[in-house]
Amino acid sequence: MRIPAKVPGLRFLTVLMVGYGAVWMSLEGGMVRVLVMGVGITAVSLLYTWQKWFGGRMMSKKRWLVLTAVSGLAFGTSSGILTLIFMAVKTGIHAHGPEFTPSQIEWVLRQIPFWAVAGCVAGLGIGLVGIGRFR
> For residue 44, which of 87, 2, 78, 67 has the smallest C-alpha distance?
78
- How far apart are the C-alpha atoms of 8 and 68, rounded to whole Å? 17
- How far apart are the C-alpha atoms of 78 and 39, rounded to whole Å? 8
* pLDDT for 69 beyond 80: yes
pLDDT at 115: 98
- How far apart are the C-alpha atoms of 46 and 50, rounded to whole Å? 6
* Selected residue with higher pLDDT from 104 and 28: 104
The contacts of residue 128 (CB under 8 Å, 6+ apart) are 65
pLDDT at 25: 87
- How far apart are the C-alpha atoms of 82 and 111, rounded to whole Å? 13
pLDDT at 134: 76
Decide: 91 and 99 in contact? Cβ < 8 Å. yes
Average pLDDT, the chain: 93
Q: What is the pTM of this model?
A: 0.90
Residue pLDDT, tens place only, 92-122: 887 777 889 999 999 999 999 999 999 999 9
Q: How many CA atoms lie within 13 A of 22 on its CB side?
A: 5
* pLDDT for 54 beyond 90: yes
